[in-house]
Amino acid sequence: MTRIVTLTLLCLLACLPAVGAAQNDRGHALLEGLVSRSFNDKADAIEAILQSEDERANDWLQALLDGNLQRLKEDGRFVVVVGNSGREWPVRDALSGEALGEISRRDLDRITINNALRGQLRSALSLVELYAGDERSRLAAAEGIIGEVDGELAAALESRLEEEESDKVRHRLSQALAVHRLERGEADAVETLAGSLNSNVRVALTRAAQSDDPALADAARRALADIQQTLKLNRVAETLYFGLSMGSVLVLAAIGLAITFGVMGVINMAHGELMMLGAYTTWAMQQLLPGQPGLALLLSIPAGFLVAALVGIAIERGVIQFLKGRPLETLLATFGISLILQQLVRTVISPLNRSVVTPEWMSGSVAINDALSLTLNRLYVMGFALLVFAALILIMRRTRLGLEVRAVTQNRAMARAMGIRATRVDILTFALGSGVAGLAGVALSQLTNVGPNLGQSYIIDSFMVVVFGGVGNLWGTLVAGLSLGVINQVLEPWAGAVLAKIMVLVFIILFIQKRPRGLFPQKGRAAEG
């Protein structure tokens, strides 16, 4: 019976119960064969482990492949290393699974294997997974053996292909077999692999394209040309995704600024520091709720808004109200406030960056195909930006505050004559814009480290978005932010980050020469003046 067929029997009998101490003694004898200096003897020992039908066989073989199956020098006991950093390694008994605490690595003998044994182990373990009940595990195993199939494994895979019910797993198994056939020079295997974006498939086709067989080489080159076209489309989609995610960050950073700039005409250079406070609020919430990053993040949304809004009110009441109509003095004053806030954070917390733990449900990515994956944290930030934008649109269109804000934006003097308290509107507007900046900081904490200089990276880009989209226009901010994000992402690969920003700035300067009030200019008498 071949090794693969034996392993198949092991998979079918994997649920047999343990048999106590007698089995432990047998297990020790099985593992003893791995200590031999001869790699051929070790191959036979692996075969014996597979034939043993021991339920611990999969664990032993995986530990052997990972280099974690070792032996105590003192008494010859077999152990599995569960962490190999530092000088003391935590281990557990390979037979009983009992934790043995930490043992010095000098007291352990590692069981060595060569590349041939590694290939044997990978094939065996992959086939074990192909008989798992979970479709996801079977699919992962099928993907893992593409490019690793030998003649012995191919026979077992053909048998497994006939039994497999999942179309996705069958497709991967067909590709794995086709790569094996391609390596043997069978030109008809190219048809099965055509259009596949799997990296191992592309490697196999590249090798086949250099074959001495003209028919095989020609078919492989045509398949590779089609795959390259598909890869270009995927790279375009990836660039667009990263551009939109970057643009959504710019929208979050600029949308609060658009409100305050549009209503009050205030150039708030401390806007970036309000974002920084929102990010630090997220970090502080995680310190208050250790081990619960998801809950801490959800609570940080209202907390970050409130903290930034209160600081914004303090800035408006303490400084800006005395400088109305004096934009240069306002710019200098808010720049000074930004420096004060940065230094305050450095003194009270730390000048070093702080990392915020990303919740599990925001980690990882969504695989669209073998060449394109969308990271979940950016996807959530994009959705969050759209939710904030929709909430602000509702506030502006459906609430009394929104009506008063629009009235003051269009004509402050007329709004005052109609009985609207412009001072109250200024306070609430600045609080709202500052709070949205805090929400931007909460979102940014999931994309980058939190530090005193966090806001400085976005303040200039935020002003560009506001000017490009049209001062005080939320729809203009959305379109401008997403557009500039995509433009930046397209330019950066070949122009570099600095030159790309310069080119965007030049574009905006040229654009406002033609449209001084941006894409979506304000309406009203104040806007005309």
The per-residue pLDDT string of the chain (529 residues; one tens digit each, 9 = 90 and over) reads 445 444 444 444 444 444 344 445 678 888 888 888 888 888 888 878 766 767 787 788 888 888 888 888 888 888 888 877 777 888 888 888 888 888 887 888 888 888 878 777 777 776 677 766 678 878 888 888 888 787 767 877 887 788 888 888 888 888 888 888 888 888 888 888 888 888 888 888 888 888 888 888 898 899 999 999 999 999 999 989 998 988 898 898 888 888 887 677 778 889 889 999 999 999 999 999 988 888 999 999 999 999 999 999 999 898 888 887 787 888 889 999 999 999 999 999 888 888 888 898 888 888 888 888 889 989 999 999 999 999 988 988 888 887 887 777 667 777 778 778 878 888 888 888 899 999 999 999 988 889 998 888 888 888 888 888 887 678 888 888 898 888 888 888 777 778 888 888 888 888 888 887 777 776 544 444 4
Q: What residues contact 107, with CB distance under 8 A and at least 6 apart?
A: 72, 73, 74
d(CA 129, CA 121): 12
* Annotated domain spans of the chain: 3-116, 239-364+374-459+468-473
- Helices 214-264 and 422-444 sit at what angle, rounded to 10 degrees? 150
Residue 10: what pLDDT?
A: 45
CA 429: distance to chain centroid?
34
Q: Distances in Å between the alpha carbon of 143 and those of 58, 127, 131, 261, 370? A: 19, 12, 14, 53, 10
For the residues of 446-468, what is the DSSP string, one character each?
A: TTS-B-TTGGGGTHHHHHHHHHH
Both tokens of residue 462?
A: 């935020």
Helix (H, G, I), strand (E, B), or coil: what is residue 52?
coil
CB contact at 8 A, 346 and 452:
yes
Residue 344 main-chain phi, psi, to 5 deg = -60, -45
Residue 114: what pLDDT?
A: 84
Residue 381 main-chain phi, psi, to 5 deg = -65, -40
Residue 392 CB neighbour total at 10 angstroms: 21
Residue 298: what pLDDT?
A: 93
The answer to whether the Cα torsion of 160, 165, 166, 167 is positive or negative is positive
Helix (H, G, I), strand (E, B), or coil: what is residue 196?
coil
CB contact at 8 A, 233 and 267:
no
Q: Distances in Å between the alpha carbon of 411 and those of 261, 404, 405? A: 14, 11, 10
Q: What residues contact 475, with CB distance under 8 A and at least 6 apart?
A: 469, 520
Q: What residues contact 140, with CB distance under 8 A and at least 6 apart?
A: 129
Among 369, 119, 383, 90, which residue's Cα sits nearest to residue 231? 369
In the chain, the amino acid numbered 364 is G
Among 254, 273, 268, 275, which residue's Cα sits nearest to residue 331? 268
